[in-house]
Structure 1
């Protein structure tokens, strides 16, 4: 019947898509994918031909072995098919070791760190076969090792495997593999040996090929070539003429893991920890993630993407790693495509912003420049900004400071309401009421930098009021920031505003107690006077000079680097806050600690503080206890009332202060 004559290969649920790479023993490897779902795989194929019955039997034996052997360092069987015409073995996506090493030659070659971990994996596979399975692989060399997408080495080539003690029943190798045979194969007088003697000899051949290229003849093993010095003594034991003294794979592994050994390095240690991370206690995992970022720069990109990244995501999703995973997460994120970043990291970032962990929030704000380009506007406005704005009202000054700075990155992606209404409300309150002078100053700086994103109506309502207010701040860097704010946003003011509102304010600043503030005021006055004089001389220039006053929001080409961050005194709190939070209890750092060292002020924009009114300490309750002591940057309510004589178009929300 026709049913019995159908080719079963047609119903095979995998499609072979790549070119065939020939392997010894009649096998070939090709790229493939599952017909349903498109999952990538590798497909090993063997064509059954007449006249090579012994080779075909070895291939069928390999298919049976791979189905039953389960070890992380041996090829993992996904599916298979045996017909009268061919054999199929489907595995995870793989590349032959030889092809992998050649592909890395363009980028500087494969590193010794990668080789150390790869050989470590192959030795573990051999140890498992010999010591746990009582099996002899009998085919270890370059073409029997494969590499997955994470750079992990897998042992394949199971065609000639046999149980220990039954060497006479082992399949016969082809002539092209005879160069990998140990000397005792041809010298029957050397009968005293261990069961692993032949496999560790072949391991020595593999090591030689990894560092020196294909082995053309057995005598080449005597020349060390590029084998590292730390590996030479152990390599010599593997290819020793006496099979009796060749080490068990387990002992070879132990010897190379000793201090100074080839397997004793940060890359191997990291991999070994990852293999057991699920049984490690939380303190060990925390320490591991803290130290991981330092080593990532020396680790292979594929390893970071496909092995470390999944562990980081799992640690956040199901563990208690918290903020400690952020630094390595964003480092690895640089290796991802935009689509991969959206799929793997953005959901984690969105979830992190909703966390109440203050250490996590402040680290997210500090590292926002690493991921802001991957956040789309709907995500920012609906899922990020509503959580970020809580930082404006946080009792910890370090979080308030970082929240202000983050607006420079978020502003281009904010919608009309969030940017021109909600953000301006918070800025108005911070500039008028915050007890930290550096935060008031940096609020003014940030406003100047994002001015071009605001709509024209908001600019007209906010800028002059805000910068005028800043020039009356008791904290001298804030006064300098107000003056520079006027100068940096000069193109957004009408000539009438320049003459009637801005110049009177700037003239008042020429009597400032701080000379550096006065100097900036005189420069700004001269700039505005030049514009007014130009219009007076040639009224036709008025339209050109006022073209940006009612212009729609644009990118900030003019103000992008006008002042840097004028004051960074609160920044010293940030690292202390993170360390304290990580150490225990999420305990805040009082602002008095920042005052002890004094604010670090940008020379161009932040002269020394002019007035330092003392106030009684306040006690602000929050999830983390915070009791500020008397501090240089505090301003009492009476002082605020004296200079808070203008508002930002009634945007300030006083009822929540």
Structure 2
């Protein structure tokens, strides 16, 4: 019965907004509404036609358009999704679109409409028209601004199929429009009624295409005679436009030929935007080499492309290419560039899953691209994702044989450190930093490790800071690479507020004082600045102990961006840690970050030749200097013996020594032993006449001091243990152990010699004789 009947509109799976979109609906029988799918909430557009009494002709036209749109499928024709036909209304659901007139007005008001976008839009409409005329044998009969719609990606779609008819004359002639706004686009041979010069089947649609071009550049067409005024039509399009609106219908070009003419060199549709779109349409059938080249060039062109096009057309193609293709690392640059147009929520949904998957790739090119561009997406990564899915893959870069990857991995820790958990930051990362700073064969990487440690120091917990920082920076000050020694000084300065007063006096200052006789003046200058700053801090607290609480936040001096030239600042100025900007390798001193200090001026040849020194020569140098290093580590007082005048060793040694010790400097927590006795003839510092007249007559006790820096040849066996950061055996203990081993060896040889003598004295044993001892 009738009361059991269900309302089809209520059961329709799409919700239709009662209000039309901004700008209203285009002229015609249909009314455009926004809508969304009830199940998923996906946005759609809904064309609604209400059946009215006495409008049977318009109803037939609407039903014919409903059928045409449902059966015609083409990328440049409005896409049909669903529909509803009842006695009261017709509903046609399509992809979400905006009328072209509304779109052009909004873009024009913002000044965002470009000729590139218009050229591709017209290319799409002409291609759709060519499909209808040449492939389907249909006459559109309604080409105008009201029949064109724009989707989210900025793609133009041809609609308005209400008055379409067959070119062969099947089913009668063209339907009557009855709408004055649409009849002004009819060609002159139809309006004058003479019927002369009927022309080709496409002549009428091509004329209307010319009207569309005029309206795109000049606004609504008031009358047909206005077509003679070119207005703002580009010069490259004028000759082809004039062919479209020619008085002789037989001379009007086929849409396919018009498209070919505009695509000729220097034509209106010959540009990078059209080429990019055409390639994306056929990307699935392109060769891998062609796709690689396309993605490499895409990044340069994205800046000039519309934002909506990048978000809704380029991005899906990039994600598809990564998921199913072999694009590799070349898609990263355009991917992150397009990601700038996304909201935080869209970035999390579309980009982050791809980035997480990329980190597990074994492709070195992709890994280094990810590390280099981490700054662009680190803000969208949450801590659980970083610790569980990204950090375990990133740390593999510390062990990579490629120095560039190791360097970029160190730099990436500046961005990842704030998001790392307790174990990854204070245990795992410190293990790798200990290994890199002590054992890596590249000086710049050792230097960068020190700088990075200084910058992430505030993120470490208290116990790790106490155990690691002083040992690590002390180890850096003994590195043969001069920038590493400077980095150690700046590391102390950047983390000064993390040390107690006793640590400053007993651990930091002794290390800095040793650098006042460094072979490189730049290192000495930094050491003197740091010493003065630490001394000022200690003196301030000594005079007023009440300032001890405030001194923890009082900066010493401000290290600037590399090349580092820290200038002394009073204790009240803010401090910022040195940035991490060193390159992976220095092919010459000109590439060094210290070139502004004078590196490479007049010494380029020496430094460059020094890099060719053999590792055997370096090992010999290290062995010859080991005893001198041992003498300076065991106690706070060093014995100074008279010798030749003070001379700095040649600078190439700082470039050629690459071997590293396997642990940090011995722990500062151990109590210093009793001072060693001074040699005869050497006075204490308090007895030395620093300013008297005798100073010029007596030999300078410091003239024998010649700093010699070398990296030990023995590395710690277990790089994963925390013992690398804690107190290790000092060189004195190592020397004692070596001496004990030699004594045991001599004792063993002596015992063997005595046994041999006893056997020789007794003579050979006789058969049958009993051995008597």
TM-score (norm 1): 0.89
Q: What does 1:365-380 correspond to in 2, within 5 Å?
A: 365-380=371-386
How far off is 1:640 after superposition? Answer: 2.3
How far off is 1:23 after superposition? Answer: 2.5
Per-residue CA distance 1:256-297 (angstroms, 9 max, x = gap) = 000011110000000000000000010000100010000000
**Structure with greater contact order relative to length (CA < 8 Å, sep ≥ 6):** 1
Report the equivalent of 2:185.
180
Report the equivalent of 2:221.
215
1:45 to 44, 48, 53: 48
Q: What does 1:481-496 correspond to in 2, within 5 Å?
A: 481-496=487-502
Q: Which deviates more, 450-459 or 6-15?
A: 6-15
Report the equivalent of 1:68.
71
Report the equivalent of 2:19.
19
| Structure 1 residues without counterparts, runs of 5 or longer | 550-557, 571-593, 619-629
Tell me if structure 2 keeps the 8 A contact 1:137–1:199: yes
Matched, 1:309 2:328: no
Cα distance in 2 for residues equivalent to 1:401 and 1:106: 48
Report the equivalent of 1:577.
none
Per-residue CA distance 1:61-88 (angstroms, 9 max, x = gap) = 1001001101010011111111111111
The alignment's C-alpha RMSD in Å is 2.6
Task: Sort the Cα spacing of 1:331 and 1:438 in 2 relative to 1 into closer, same or farther, 3 A.
Answer: same
How far off is 1:30 after superposition? Answer: 0.8
How far off is 1:546 after superposition? Answer: 3.4
Matched, 1:154 2:157: yes
Tell me if structure 1 keeps the 8 A contact 2:480–2:654: no
Report the equivalent of 1:277.
283
Report the equivalent of 1:196.
202
Task: Sort the Cα spacing of 1:617 and 1:151 in 2 relative to 1 into closer, same or farther, 3 A.
Answer: farther
Report the equivalent of 2:442.
436
Matched, 1:323 2:329: yes
Task: Sort the Cα spacing of 1:233 and 1:566 in 2 relative to 1 into closer, same or farther, 3 A.
Answer: closer
Report the equivalent of 2:512.
506
Cα distance in 2 for residues equivalent to 1:75 and 1:617: 75
Cα distance in 2 for residues equivalent to 1:57 and 1:631: 91
**Aligned residue pairs: how many?**
611
Cα distance in 2 for residues equivalent to 1:40 and 1:411: 41
Cα distance in 2 for residues equivalent to 1:631 and 1:243: 85
Matched, 1:636 2:651: no
Tell me if structure 2 keeps the 8 A contact 1:208–1:221: yes
For the pair shown, which has the larger CA radius of gyration, 1 or 2? 2
Tell me if structure 2 keeps the 8 A contact 1:146–1:156: yes
Tell me if structure 1 keeps the 8 A contact 2:197–2:250: no
Report the equivalent of 1:595.
587
Report the equivalent of 1:8.
8
Report the equivalent of 1:563.
578
SS at match of 1:154: strand
Cα distance in 2 for residues equivalent to 1:605 and 1:146: 63
TM-score (norm 2): 0.76
1:112 to 115, 140, 143: 115
Tell me if structure 1 keeps the 8 A contact 2:481–2:654: no
2:476 to 470, 477, 481: 470
Cα distance in 2 for residues equivalent to 1:495 and 1:604: 34
1:90 to 90, 93, 101: 93
Task: Sort the Cα spacing of 1:18 and 1:110 in 2 relative to 1 into closer, same or farther, 3 A.
Answer: farther
Tell me if structure 1 keeps the 8 A contact 2:660–2:715: no
Cα distance in 2 for residues equivalent to 1:290 and 1:429: 37
Per-residue CA distance 1:80-127 (angstroms, 9 max, x = gap) = 111111111000111111111122234313110000000000000000
| Structure 2 residues without counterparts, runs of 5 or longer | 556-572, 618-652, 662-709, 727-773
Cα distance in 2 for residues equivalent to 1:91 and 1:649: 64
Q: Which deviates more, 166-175 or 222-231?
A: 166-175
Matched, 1:297 2:303: yes
Task: Sort the Cα spacing of 1:478 and 1:143 in 2 relative to 1 into closer, same or farther, 3 A.
Answer: same
Matched, 1:407 2:413: yes
Tell me if structure 2 keeps the 8 A contact 1:397–1:436: yes
Per-residue CA distance 1:159-196 (angstroms, 9 max, x = gap) = 00000042952110122212100000023242330000
Cα distance in 1 for residues equivalent to 2:248 and 2:499: 91
Task: Sort the Cα spacing of 1:606 and 1:644 in 2 relative to 1 into closer, same or farther, 3 A.
Answer: farther
SS at match of 1:9: coil
Q: Which deviates more, 83-92 or 128-137?
A: 83-92
